[in-house]
Amino acid sequence: MATEITHFIDPAVLAKLGNIELVARLVVEGFLVGLHKSPYHGFSVEFAEYRQYNPGDPPKSIDWKVYARTDKFFVKEFEEETNLRSYILLDKSASMGFSHGGRITKFDYARYLAAALAYLMVRQKDAVGLLTFDERPDDLIPASMTRVQLMELLKVLAKAAPSGKTKIDTTFLAVADKLKRRGLIILISDLLDDPERTISAVKHFRHRKNEVVVFHILDPSEIDFDFRREAQFVDMETGNKIPVQPWMIRDEYREKAQKFFELLKYRCQEFDIDYNLLTTDTPYDVALLAYLHKRQKLY
């Protein structure tokens, strides 16, 4: 992609914009400029327009109600759409509010990603729904491919704010029971919870024949622990405080962090779950490409 295109999918640039719909549109349109348009074939269910009946059209396509009003034969045409139904599960627990070094917060990065994914799906005629959660699930926005529903979803994302604790296991068990139709589950979270409980919860969707993609969102400092001065670290979910000399524990931290990421990746692969580790300075095209890669494998 050209520099002028990636400029519009750079989180540092997008963080300066206040309109989440504008962010989503810039990300998706900038991303698509760098791609050849891919044909996604599915079945047609969304009504597009009427046209006059032509010899050879199947009689069952005639709209008899229109005929009764006009005494003319018209058939319905439909827009091609896919049969993919996706739900974005967005973590809004307090830890998602973290940022360091003037970067965008994990939550802002995550919700812009959620907005861009939803915008892209609706553009592709896929249905998308949303659930935000912390220690409990919020109201579920049903999956839809309409622009009206997309605007409602974006409004929820614009108003959401990080708070509360993380309880992925209990939250997801409650959510799985609400999703009656199989589809694609997209989890966007910092996954700061017990990894085995997290995987146990996520694989519950797999048992119900859903496909699952995980976007693990972290601030770069949570990976490299490159803090230079003595500091007091505060748990954003419990308020617990601990004084730290970062250089004394940096190597041990990095080693344990790497083992944490490897465990999550391995356990996700074990259940055929796509795992993507992203930092808040990663351009959004990386995540959108990961989604499209998964999308193509499904059809």
- If asked whether residues 139 and 251 sit together in one domain, one would say yes
Do 68 and 160 fall into the same domain?
A: no
User: What is the sign, positive or negative, of the torsion defined by CA atoms of 38, 40, 44, 46?
Assistant: negative
Using the 3D structure, point to which of 56, 80, 104 is the last residue of a domain: 80
Helices (H), the chain: 3-6, 11-14, 20-33, 64-70, 106-123, 147-159, 168-176, 195-207, 221-224, 246-270, 284-298
Note whether 24 and 126 are same-domain residues. yes
Q: Which domain holds residue 69?
A: 44-80
Residue-wise pLDDT tens for the chain (299 aa)?
A: 444 444 456 777 776 777 899 889 888 888 877 664 444 333 333 444 555 666 666 676 677 776 676 777 766 654 444 468 899 999 999 999 999 888 999 999 999 999 999 999 998 889 999 999 988 888 789 999 899 999 999 999 999 999 888 778 777 877 777 776 788 999 999 998 888 888 888 888 888 888 999 999 999 999 998 888 887 887 787 888 888 888 888 999 999 999 999 999 999 999 999 999 999 999 998 999 899 888 877 76
- CA 159 – CA 144 distance, rounded (Å): 20
Domain tally, the chain: 2
* pLDDT at position 47: 44
Encoding tokens for residue 123? 């553009």
- Up-side HSE of residue 229: CA atoms within 13 Å toward CB? 3
> What is the rounded distance in angstroms from the CA atom of residue 74 to the CA atom of residue 159?
45
CA distance 299 to 287: 19
**What is the pLDDT, as a whole number, of residue 41?**
36
Within 13 Å and on the Cβ side, how many CA atoms surround 56? 1
d(C-alpha 81, C-alpha 95), whole Å: 38
Residues 206, 290 within the same domain: yes
Give the Cα separation of 186 and 120 in Å (integer): 14
Look at residues 3, 192, 14 and name the one whose alpha carbon lies nearest to residue 114: 14
> Where on the phi/psi map is residue 130: left (φ > 0), alpha (ψ -120 to 50), or beta?
beta
- How many residues are recorded in the chain? 299
Please tell me whether residues 136 and 96 are part of one structural domain. yes
- In a shared domain, residues 49 and 86: no
**Residue 162 shares a structural domain with residue 172:** yes
Based on the fold, state whether residues 90 and 218 are members of the same structural domain.
yes
- What's the rounded Cα separation, in Å, for the pair 105 and 163? 13
